């Protein structure tokens, strides 16, 4: 390892109080989503911090009071050396009034060698570690030859694709690291898509007509949309079991690809036969699948069932997939992310982790989802790598180990340095 880099890595520990203070500063900004629309002050802090390190700042509102921040540090020889995106989200999980925290969730404290506060693990610890790595590089006067793009995005907790907005704005790189909660594992992920299935009658009937629909000689061809939705739910369960038998992916327990009937809405009130029923589902799928693929499989299966039903075949279910926000339009997409362990970026991150931690790098899959899938969808080779564990993410008394935070910061510092000094030809 480069001698200058070794000196910088030592400074992570020597200046650890600065790192801890930075994590605490980020936590102190109240950015829970929901309710969201509250990240402006935090993002202004991030933008100011990165600007002081020489980054050119691009900021724009994805939603009112919820801006993305992208900092670009142009390399000294961008044409010949590899570029890097470091990505993380500034929003944190909501805090319910009934949660019994030992402290105010947004007044961080250090206790038992951990930082406690909402977002410590998910994922202001990861953001702070990366920001501090850039601070150390700047203070040492290091000039990186490859371009660096730092993204602090909004909306991840509620399916608002701040990262996708960065991709649409044109930000690309040779490799990307999403510094989200991974317990220092190098990870890909499965995907998630939500969808609405609607069963709707062309006609509306008074509840007194029900007998004519269901008894011999009634003569009225009608049905309750709620009861017909029961057939749809049974069909989803059948498909879910079929997927569990026929599909698998290394690192996932069998049957991780699920179809959850999460919310059902139907009927007007007790004086009507239900003329409409809507089912909100959440679908988890594997890294080697796309959300378009699984949506098509569900539609084909459910429409096959509907066409075999005497009423549904004339009143076929309709489907609406995804969405841009669980707040704005009650829908979301998290694309899957499949990583190549032989990619140069993955191999360098793994070897850097092993050199610094003296432990074997674990390359696996996250049991949850992050914004990494959006970067992968944009054609950017991407991994998830960050401090904190999922037992703490979204938890009461959320915390991150200071020891792990320091180790992560050393690794991400060394990786940024080494990757930026990697020639594109190699």
Question: Which pLDDT value is given to residue 426?
Answer: 59
Domain CATH code at residue 366:
3.40.630.10
Residues 100 and 208 in one domain: no
Task: List, in sequence order, every beta strand (DSSP E) within 74-165.
Answer: 84-89, 92-93, 109-111, 114-116, 148-153
Question: Which pLDDT value is given to residue 136?
Answer: 98
- C-alpha span between 107 and 96 (Å, rounded): 16
> Per the domain annotation, does 304 fall within a domain?
yes
> Per the domain annotation, does 425 fall within a domain?
no
Tokens standing for 113? 């060698």
Count of structural domains, the chain: 2
More confident residue, 396 or 222: 396
Contact 119, 392 (CB under 8 A): no
Active site residues: 91, 156
Contact 37, 63 (CB under 8 A): yes
Residues 164 and 291 in one domain: no
Query: pLDDT digit string (tens) for 332-360?
Result: 999 999 999 999 999 999 999 999 999 99
> Per the domain annotation, does 330 fall within a domain?
no
Query: pLDDT digit string (tens) for 59-84?
Result: 999 999 999 999 999 999 999 999 99
Q: Under 8 Å CB-to-CB from 120, ≥6 apart: which residues? A: 23, 27, 108, 114, 388, 392, 398, 399, 400
Residues 381 and 363 in one domain: yes
Query: pLDDT digit string (tens) for 224-280?
Result: 999 999 999 999 999 999 999 999 999 999 999 999 999 999 999 999 999 999 999
Residues 200 and 270 in one domain: yes
Residues 14 and 81 in one domain: yes
Question: Which pLDDT value is given to residue 40?
Answer: 98
- C-alpha span between 373 and 334 (Å, rounded): 6
* The domain boundary residue, chosen from 273, 293, 321: 321
Residues 247 and 225 in one domain: yes
Q: DSSP assignment, residue 423?
A: B
* The domain boundary residue, chosen from 259, 290, 321: 321
Q: Position of tokens 């960065």?
A: 166
* The domain boundary residue, chosen from 296, 321, 346: 321
Question: Which pLDDT value is given to residue 156?
Answer: 98
> Per the domain annotation, does 143 fall within a domain?
yes
> Per the domain annotation, does 326 fall within a domain?
no
- pLDDT score of 1 more than 90: no
- C-alpha span between 150 and 144 (Å, rounded): 14
Q: DSSP assignment, residue 104?
A: -
Which residue range(s) make up the domain with 105?
3-190+337-420
Task: Look at strands 109-111 and 259-266 and give their pairing.
Answer: unpaired
- pLDDT score of 144 more than 80: yes
Domain CATH code at residue 214:
3.30.70.360
Residues 143 and 238 in one domain: no
> Per the domain annotation, does 414 fall within a domain?
yes
Residues 349 and 311 in one domain: no
> Per the domain annotation, does 95 fall within a domain?
yes
> Per the domain annotation, does 329 fall within a domain?
no
Average pLDDT, the chain: 97
Residues 155 and 30 in one domain: yes
Residues 46 and 11 in one domain: yes
Q: What band does 221 get if pLDDT is binned at 50, 70 and 90? A: confident
Residues 9 and 153 in one domain: yes
Residues 253 and 296 in one domain: yes
């Amino acid at each position: 390892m480069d001698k200058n880099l070794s000196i910088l890595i030592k400074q992570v520990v020597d200046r650890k109080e600065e790192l801890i203070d930075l994590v605490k500063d980020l936590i102190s900004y109240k950015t829970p989503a929901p309710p969201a629309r509250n990240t402006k002050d935090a993002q202004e802090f991030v933008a100011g911090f990165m600007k002081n390190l020489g980054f050119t700042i691009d900021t724009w509102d994805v939603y009112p009071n919820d801006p993305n921040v992208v900092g670009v540090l142009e390399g000294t020889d961008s044409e010949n050396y590899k570029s890097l995106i470091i990505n993380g989200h500034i929003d944190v999980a909501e805090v319910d009034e009934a949660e019994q925290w030992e402290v105010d969730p947004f007044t961080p404290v250090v206790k038992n060698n951990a930082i406690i506060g909402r977002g410590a693990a998910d994922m202001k610890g990861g953001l702070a570690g990366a920001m501090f790595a850039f601070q150390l590089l700047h203070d040492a006067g290091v000039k990186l030859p490859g371009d660096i793009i730092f993204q602090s995005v909004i909306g991840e907790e509620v399916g608002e694709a701040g990262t996708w907005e960065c991709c649409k704005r044109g930000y690309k790189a040779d490799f990307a690291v999403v510094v989200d909660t991974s317990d220092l594992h190098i990870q890909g992920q499965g995907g998630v898509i939500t969808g609405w299935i609607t069963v709707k009658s062309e006609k509306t009937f008074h509840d007194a007509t029900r007998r004519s629909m269901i008894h011999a000689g009634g003569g009225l061809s009608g049905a309750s949309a709620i009861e017909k939705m029961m057939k749809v739910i049974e069909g989803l369960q059948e498909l879910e079991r079929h997927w569990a038998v026929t599909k698998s992916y290394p690192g996932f327990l069998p049957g991780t690809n699920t179809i959850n009937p999460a919310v059902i809405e139907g009927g007007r009130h007790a004086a009507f036969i239900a003329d409409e029923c809507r089912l909100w589902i959440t679908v988890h799928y594997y890294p080697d699948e796309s959300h378009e693929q699984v949506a098509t499989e569900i539609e084909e299966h459910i429409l096959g069932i509907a066409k075999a039903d005497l009423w549904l075949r004339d009143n076929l279910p309709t489907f609406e997939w995804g969405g841009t926000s669980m707040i704005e339009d009650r829908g979301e997409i998290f694309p899957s992310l499949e990583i190549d362990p032989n990619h140069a970026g993955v191999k360098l991150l793994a070897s850097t982790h092993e050199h610094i931690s003296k432990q074997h790098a674990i390359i696996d899959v996250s049991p949850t989802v992050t914004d990494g899938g959006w970067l992968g969808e944009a054609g950017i080779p991407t991994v998830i790598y960050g401090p904190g564990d999922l037992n703490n993410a979204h938890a009461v008394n959320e915390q991150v180990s200071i020891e792990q935070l320091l180790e992560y910061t050393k690794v991400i510092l060394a990786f940024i340095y080494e990757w930026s000094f990697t020639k594109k030809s190699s």
